[in-house]
Chains A and B, each alone.
Chain A
């Protein structure tokens, strides 16, 4: 079945560091990918929609200069947390729709998440 690979699985770094997280669709093309953030015992909060070849669409309240998204190919989207601070510590998860339409009315295939800890 379709697989989404997310890397790294865990990052621990100092405050002020920029961290890049990669999300790859391994056996299918994804014109759209989604980035979520999840705090402990809470649900997934959509941060942004990553669109191949164009700018990402950010949800209200998400700083686009803080969370840089690049979707340079049909199989790779990256999220860069710039100048990370302790409040950015969270579980970040990406997903890609399983169908060819690129919309979310298809089952979503999720990566296994990145646990980001900023000291």
Chain B
């Protein structure tokens, strides 16, 4: 069966460090992968999209990698700040025009 797995355990890091979040998938062949941020009681906010032919994408302090051989995406936040604390969701296209989301990883950045 198809699965998108994100670490369900909260990730706690110190301010200024790099946060690395993982998204693993099985039985998918996505053409692209997206990352979103969700704050409590709010809708997700789009962060980055990476296509299958792209190895890496950057946006300010954010970096996403996409390894279709390992079936894995890594999401990095450099120089993390307490304001980066949120739940981060990865999402894959589901052989059509719809996105399927992982369970999300909660990031806590401590000052």
Per-position binary interface string of chain A over residues 89-119, scored 1 when its CB falls under 8 Å from any chain B CB and 0 otherwise: 0010101001000111111111111010000
The answer to whether A113 and B43 touch (CB under 8 A), given A43-B101, A104-B93, is yes
- Could you say which residues of chain A place their CB within 8 Å of the CB of B100? 46
Least Cβ–Cβ distance between A17 and chain B, in angstroms = 22
Least Cβ–Cβ distance between B79 and chain A, in angstroms = 24
Residue from A42, A44, A49, A106 in contact with B44 in the complex, judged by beta carbons closer than 8 Å: A44
The answer to whether A46 and B98 touch (CB under 8 A), given A107-B34, A108-B46, A112-B42, is yes
- A42 and B101 CA atoms in complex are apart in Å by 10
- A56 and B104 CA atoms in complex are apart in Å by 27
Q: Which residues in chain B, 59-111, are within 8 Å of chain A measured between CB atoms?
A: 89, 91, 93, 96-104
Judge whether B32 and A105 touch: CB under 8 Å.
yes
Least Cβ–Cβ distance between B36 and chain A, in angstroms = 8
- Could you say which residues of chain B place their CB within 8 Å of the CB of A110? 36, 43-46
* Cβ-Cβ contact count across A and B, 8 Å cutoff: 60
Least Cβ–Cβ distance between B43 and chain A, in angstroms = 3
- A95 and B98 CA atoms in complex are apart in Å by 11
- A interface bracket (residues with beta carbon within 8 Å of B): 20 to 34
Judge whether A44 and B101 touch: CB under 8 Å.
yes
The answer to whether A107 and B43 touch (CB under 8 A), given A34-B98, A43-B102, A49-B97, is no
- A95 and B99 CA atoms in complex are apart in Å by 11
Q: Of all chain A residues, which has the CB nearest B100? A: A46
Least Cβ–Cβ distance between A50 and chain B, in angstroms = 12
Least Cβ–Cβ distance between A58 and chain B, in angstroms = 12
Least Cβ–Cβ distance between B53 and chain A, in angstroms = 13
Judge whether B43 and A95 touch: CB under 8 Å.
yes
- Could you say which residues of chain B place their CB within 8 Å of the CB of A95? 43-44
Given known contacts A32-B97, A43-B101, A49-B97, what 6 new A-B pairs fall within 8 Å (CB)? Answer: A43-B104, A91-B41, A104-B96, A105-B93, A109-B46, A110-B36
Residues of A within 8 A of B (CB): 4, 6, 32, 34, 42-44, 46, 49, 91, 93, 95, 98, 102-113, 115
